[in-house]
Copies of this chain bind each other. A is one copy, B any other.
Amino acid sequence: MKKIYYLDDLHVGQRFGSGKYVLDEAAIKRFATEYDPQPFHLDHAAAAKSFFQGLAASGWHTAAVTMRLFVDSEFKPAGGIIGAGLEALQWHQPVRPGDELSVETEILELRPSRSRPQQGMVKARVTTYNQRKEPVQIFVARLLVERFVP
């Protein structure tokens, strides 16, 4: 049973790791076929001539896999992981077939809600790495987290 975190159980600088997730070529093409059907996500020959110089996963696929790793991590806020939005997201380099992704989350800011005493906002940086520990994607998320109300 993993620990559940209310807002006041978290602290700035706290970090959470994740498991690992391999994006294979079939999964990259399946996601792209449904959500991002551009040649450089679907076809080796077309991808070789593109900006990516080889087949690459859709950035939204990387984002979706990041969410899966985040949900399965030890970061278990009370009420679930509920995103209000992102302050920024960068895709730093392509994700290639066979890359193994993992995620590190760092708490940057904690703020109780002024209007809702049972709720607060957590700002967290979520960095997605490949197997060479190179960041492939970094975003800063604003999450709604419950406060413990006795």
Q: Which residues of A contact B (CB under 8 A)?
A: 31, 34-40, 50-52, 58-60, 63-65, 67-68, 71, 79-91, 139, 144
Neighbour of A36 across the interface among B51, B68, B144, CB < 8 A: B68
Which residues of the other chain, B, contact A83 by a CB distance below 8 angstroms?
A: 59, 91
> Which of A58, A65, A67 is packed against the most chain B CB atoms within 10 Å?
A67
Neighbour of A144 across the interface among B51, B68, B71, CB < 8 A: B51
Q: Given the known A-B contacts A85-B91, A89-B89, are A50 and B79 also in contact in the complex, defined by CB atoms under 8 Å?
A: yes
Q: Are A90 and B80 in contact (CB under 8 A)?
A: no
Q: Are A64 and B60 in contact (CB under 8 A)?
A: yes
Q: Given the known A-B contacts A35-B67, A67-B60, are A85 and B89 also in contact in the complex, defined by CB atoms under 8 Å?
A: yes
Q: From residue A44, how far is it (CB to closest CB) to chain B in Å?
A: 15
Cα–Cα distance between A85 and B88 once the two chains are bound (Å):
8
Neighbour of A64 across the interface among B50, B64, B80, CB < 8 A: B64
Which residues of the other chain, B, contact A91 by a CB distance below 8 angstroms?
A: 83-85
Which residues of the other chain, B, contact A85 by a CB distance below 8 angstroms?
A: 88-91
Neighbour of A35 across the interface among B59, B68, B79, B84, CB < 8 A: B68
Which residue on B lies nearest to A69, using beta carbons?
B35
Q: Are A80 and B51 in contact (CB under 8 A)?
A: yes
Q: Are B38 and A68 in contact (CB under 8 A)?
A: no
Which residue on B lies nearest to A137, using beta carbons?
B85
Which residues of the other chain, B, contact A139 by a CB distance below 8 angstroms?
A: 86
